[in-house]
Structure 1
Amino acid sequence: MKLTKFTHACIRLEKDRRVLVIDPGTFSESEEALAGAHAVLVTHEHNDHIDRPAVLAALRSNSSLEVYAPAGVAKSLTEAAGVDGTGSEALADRIHTVEPGSDFEAAGFPVRTFGGQHAVIHAQIPVVSNIGYLVDGNVFHPGDSFVVPDGINVQTLLVPIHAPWSKVGEVVDFVISVRAPKAFPVHDGLLNELGRGIVEGHVTRIGARYGTTYTRLAPRESVEV
């Protein structure tokens, strides 16, 4: 399976001529990531994880595209799709609500969901729904959380390297807890090179003690997983 990282939290997966995109947000090259996609998974409602205009445009231009998201996101997309009344019913049929603890197939990829809650940013900031996705029994994208999948062995972990809701120790503990053989960064759009070097140094060094090889990916860089 080919994994391509885009800026910040967006990932594109390709296998057997099928394309699945996770979290095409406003910090990412979302239109490029969505080109030719068959399915989109959205972890939560924050704009850095979903570029609503870009996703709606992709739904309108690509009749084979399906979107899977938490209830609030699915509702907002469905409502927005109906504003202009153009093919809104057929479009809404391709927007699906996803709950944590479920299994389904998206664009031919088996998907399992975990978690349900965004990490706490501050006591006065409301907590929103967040779903982590395990794709093809291989790649795990936690969204904005450090939820550890239970009952499975993750092969490829996408690590939220930096966020307003985390600290370095929590990032390292997440990598240690999942113990995937491979790990790559997501949620890195707010880091400069100095900050990235500090976080990635700890993740690389300590993760290796627990069997995880961490590799930095630049935007648009691809690897086989």
Structure 2
Amino acid sequence: MRLTKYAHACVRIEDGDRSVLIDPGCWTAPEAFHGVRAVLFTHEHADHVDEDLLAAARAADPELQVYTHADLAAELGGEAVAVGDRFTAGGFEVRAVGGRHAETIDGYPNCANLGFLVEGVYHPGDALHRPEEDVRALLLPASGPWLSLRAAIEMVRAVRPEHTFPIHDANLSEIGMANFDGWLGEEADTRFARIALGKSVDLP
């Protein structure tokens, strides 16, 4: 299984002719969609979903599948999925978990957020929901107004993934990324590695 990191929270998962793209937002390059069979959106924020990019991708491939929570599915014309649903997307077996966006302050933002487990690879979106299933590879949010370094470390310790790759990091400087990576490498019992933008890793 190959993971390719695009801008911010956007990750592509491929295995042979199977492929899904998760959260191609406003900083994602169009080539992230090339040849992909399905797109999963965790929630409605612009750094996770870009409607113009999606429209262009659908124009190029009318068979492109789109899955997300009900409110956003209605807006995008995609297929609605809910917490606990198991479905097939781009050839992968997927389970939707979580349900709500992590709180920043005073109940904001109060919106839906689905995490997606794609055959052991977990993308939580903007939340730190801990799924019941074993997680082979965790795509760990590294920055956000709703997130602390302590919470990120505690997430890894609770989920206990074999591999951890940071995402949701567009707002971090190089110094900030190095600081985050140093803490996670020391304090979380996981194989931690950063995937450079546009680069890929193959899970053994």
Unaligned residue ranges in structure 1 (runs of 5+): 79-94
Which letter does structure 1 place at the counterpart of 2:97?
F
Aligned-CA RMSD value: 1.1
Unaligned residue ranges in structure 2 (runs of 5+): none
Can you list the C-alpha shifts for 1:187-221, whole angstroms capped at 9, x where unaligned? 000000111122211111111xx3x1110111011
Q: Which runs of 4+ in 1 moved over 2 A?
A: none
1:74 aligns with 2:65: no
Structure 1 126/185 Cα, relative in aligned 2: closer, same or farther at 3 Å? closer
Can you list the C-alpha shifts for 1:75-114, whole angstroms capped at 9, x where unaligned? 1113xxxxxxxxxxxxxxxx10110111000111000111
Structure-2 separation of matches of 1:63 and 1:76: 17
Which letter does structure 2 place at the counterpart of 1:35?
H
Structure 1 124/182 Cα, relative in aligned 2: closer, same or farther at 3 Å? closer
The answer (yes or no) to whether the contact 1:153–1:180 under 8 Å persists in 2 is yes
Q: Which has the larger radius of gyration?
A: 1
Which residue, out of 154, 171, 175, partners 1:190? 171
Q: Normalising by the residue count of structure 2, what TM-score does the alignment of the two structures yield?
A: 0.96
Superposition deviation, residue 124 in structure 1: 5.7
The answer (yes or no) to whether the contact 2:19–2:91 under 8 Å persists in 1 is no
Q: Normalising by the residue count of structure 1, what TM-score does the alignment of the two structures yield?
A: 0.87
Structure 1 59/217 Cα, relative in aligned 2: closer, same or farther at 3 Å? same
Can you list the C-alpha shifts for 1:35-71, whole angstroms capped at 9, x where unaligned? 1111000000001001111112212220221000111
Can you list the C-alpha shifts for 1:160-190, whole angstroms capped at 9, x where unaligned? 0111111110010001111101000110000
Structure-2 separation of matches of 1:98 and 1:47: 20
Which residue, out of 157, 161, 176, partners 2:138? 157
Structure-2 separation of matches of 1:126 and 1:178: 24
